[in-house]
Amino acid sequence: MTPDPFELLAQWLPANDAPERPLMTLATVSADGWPNARTVLLSEWSAEGFAFHTDARSRKIAEVDATGRAALMIPLFSEEASRQLVVQGTVEAVEPEEEATVFAARPAYLQTLAWLNTPEFAALPDAERVERWASFQRENPAPAPPQTWTGRRVRPQRLLFWTGTPDTASRRVSYTRSGTGWTVEILAG
């Protein structure tokens, strides 16, 4: 255990320049109080928080902007242990420069998705969707981000590190922001 959760995060999460980005579940609450959860990529992380990028017109952006809060769950599996990182925090917009940098680092599939993933595109017959997708990629080998591309950062107020192994009971280590530091508590799994 360490008093600084970011030392532990450096052991658990890939570096921001690693090409493979972990998937995480983003949990929000709608205006009428219903919980929502969906999978997004962890774009990057730092002591400032955990960033994800998506379409500004999405329900997830509307919900995090309305409440200013979200939770993330990042599953991390290895041969030695199963791990989950849960983040609860406040949400803020990222800088436009960061949005552009993250978009440029995304693979061609995800760049194309950012441009074409609309209700109108989803309603097209499969053959037309395949043709439009291929056409967009041929005509836009290195697209700039669409105007609807945006990013948010979840600033952690609580970090929960869950570890499970086959040879003993799982456990959680909870870090809760307290002033300029963290309160640490060990919990049953």
Q: Which fold has domain 5-106+147-188?
A: Pnp Oxidase; Chain A (2.30.110)
Tokens 């902007």 sit on residue: 65
- For residue 2, the model assigns a pLDDT of 85
pTM reported for the whole predicted model: 0.91
Phi/psi for 148 (5° steps) reads -85, 0
Helix extents (H) in the chain: 5-12, 59-67, 96-105, 108-116, 119-122, 126-139
Q: How many CB atoms lie within 10 A of CB 75?
A: 13
pLDDT of residue 20: 87
pLDDT value for 136: 97
Token couple for 116: 């074409």
- Over its length of 189 residues, how does the chain's per-residue pLDDT go in tens digits? 788 999 999 999 999 989 889 999 999 999 999 999 999 999 999 999 999 999 999 999 999 999 999 999 999 887 777 999 999 999 999 999 999 999 999 999 999 999 999 999 999 999 999 999 999 999 999 999 999 999 999 999 999 999 998 888 899 999 999 988 999 999 998
Domain boundaries, the chain: 5-106+147-188
Q: What pLDDT score does 19 carry?
A: 85
